Amino acid sequence: MIVDDQELLRRGLAMVIDSQPDLELVAEAGDGQEALDVLASRAVDVVVMDVRMPRMDGVRATAQIQKLSRPPRVLVLTTFDLDEHALGALRAGASGFLLKDAPGEEIIAAIRHVHAGDAIIAPATTRRLVAQLVDQRETDPTAVLQMLTEREQEVFGELARGASNAEIGARLYLSETTVKTHVGRILTKLRLRDRVQAVVLAYESGVVRPGSR
């Protein structure tokens, strides 16, 4: 489902989505409240959500979507490259954040990744977002790490830096299946929904610091 108050943008994105054999546009909405009304009666896997809209903005709508019994994943797509929107959307439960000027193929790839449970954060936003997370740090890193085994801590660190399962496996000499198992256990132990929340927690707690590799 596409949620945006600009009909022209919805039409353009709809054409891109409908051109893909594995994607189907099943609904549109002009604001967050309309999106919630649609979701009350229609099953959707991924919502592509604008941030600034009348009646209910994308951040509030994303937070409300998370309260549904089977919430779809939310990919926030906006023209506003501002930290508070990125951070607000991610904290509200979005699985990804991209700018509207991203190429069509990048947006399509992001929809697929979000559907698969991966995290998507616009590269142009990441550095400023991380800096803000560090400034607002509230979580004790020791408390976070104490919940994980030594190997899980290593995987968590790589996960927070945006590494894929294959990259984590190569760096830690683990199979992708083993990495996937570790990631699942980490998300369960830390009560995180997905990899985006893992990134946010890692920087909020100071487990990973800006510029670390």
Q: What is the pLDDT of residues 86-123, one digit of tens each?
A: 677 777 888 888 888 888 888 998 899 888 877 776 65
Q: What is the mean pLDDT of the chain?
A: 83
**211 pLDDT higher than 90:** no
Q: How many residues does the chain have?
A: 213
- The packing angle between helices 123-135 and 195-205, to 10°, is 40
DSSP string for residues in the chain: -EE-S-HHHHHHHHHHHHTSTT-----EESSHHHHHHHHTTS--SEEEE-SS-SSS-HHHHHHHHTTSSSPPEEEEEES---HHHHHHHHHHT-SEEEETTS-HHHHHHHHHHHHTT--EE-HHHHHHHHHHHHHT--S-HHHHHTTS-HHHHHHHHHHHTT--HHHHHHHHT--HHHHHHHHHHHHHHTT-SSHHHHHHHHHHHTSS-TT--
**134 pLDDT higher than 50:** no
Mind listing the domains of the chain with CATH numbers?
2-132 (3.40.50.2300), 137-205 (1.10.10.10)
For 178, the token pair is 């083993």
Q: What is the pLDDT of residues 13-38, one digit of tens each?
A: 999 999 999 999 999 999 999 999 99
**133 pLDDT higher than 80:** no
Residue 67, CB half-sphere, CA atoms under 13 Å: how many? 7
pLDDT of residue 39: 96
**2 pLDDT higher than 90:** yes
**83 pLDDT higher than 60:** no
pLDDT of residue 131: 54
Q: What is the pLDDT of residues 160-194, one digit of tens each?
A: 777 788 889 999 999 999 999 999 999 898 888 77
Handedness of CA 2, 193, 62, 79 (dihedral sign): negative
